[in-house]
Amino acid sequence: MAIIYREVIVIDIKSISTGLELGHDGIWYSAETKNLSYPSDGNEACFAVEDNSFWFRHRNDCIASVVKSYPPENNGTIFDIGGGNGFVSLGLANAGFNVALLEPGKVGASNAKKRGISNVICATTETAKFTPNSLSAVGLFDVIEHIEDDLNFLKSVKELMKKNACLYVTVPSYSFLWSLEDVTAGHFRRYKLNSILSVLQLAGFKIEFASYIFKYLPIPIFLLRTIPFKLGLAKKDKMNNVTSRDHAVEGGVLSNLIDLSLHSEIDTLNIGKSMSFGGSCLIVAKNS
């Protein structure tokens, strides 16, 4: 495994928050807790597969590509809100960006710290009590679909961001792909690209770039997840079993073919082109 050396930037959390205290484990904690639409075992399930999953790996590559094209102003810190175990944060850090992870789940925050993320905050955007207009950039990577009131949530995030700060977003696409896996994961919805752009614009953001990614995924999702769900054939399972099953492709010819097919998506993103179909939406917006 390649080791990537990077300068570690430690953020002065006290200068942007009134609701956090540093724990003995090096993690910043809020005194309050909030109920979440996310399985209690979700972070552990993801932690077990992230390092070997083509899906997590490709999403990281896509995110890094657009962040390089639309970097935070003045090399500002990207606050990875709802960042789970820190897999995306680590990818961004290894790509040369300053990162702080905000994760309300203690398991996820602890896993992120183990992964080497220096700035870890165990809180929600509410309980962290960030100062308005203090965040230099924000990432919401497969987070918004877990929020029942997505518009007001995005408005609240916007209030925390500096003027012209970048917002990086991924969400699952297409309501027709809804399945038991969405229910198990605690999703409230899936989005068409136009629908998530509309919500972002209503919240006051200016769209800089928007594309689908995972262009080959909708058909297998529909055949293997959606149809069994609609026919009542899908069986409810624990989050860790669902996650392990969905990300089980490791090595071999199939894995190589998947990686080869996805490589062209990175080439497309690297030249600033959008894709018109895919299993996820990827957006860059600004706090205008």
pLDDT, one tens digit per residue, over 38-76 is 666 778 888 888 988 889 999 999 999 999 999 999 999
Which of 44-58, 134-148, 240-254 shows the highest mean pLDDT? 134-148
CA–CA distance, 198 with 182 (Å, rounded to integer): 22
Q: Return the closest-CA partner of residue 115 out of 92, 81, 140, 139.
A: 92
pLDDT at 241 over 60: no
Instruction: Give the pairing of strands 20-22 and 99-102.
Output: unpaired
Asked if 164 contacts 145 with a C-beta cutoff of 8 angstroms, the reply is: no
Is the domain defined by 13-287 classed in CATH 3.40.50.150? Answer: yes
CA–CA distance, 26 with 265 (Å, rounded to integer): 37
pLDDT at 5 over 80: no
Domain ranges of the chain: 13-287
CA–CA distance, 80 with 120 (Å, rounded to integer): 10
Per-residue model confidence (pLDDT) at position 3: 38
- Per-residue tokens: 130: 């960030």
Its pTM stands at 0.91
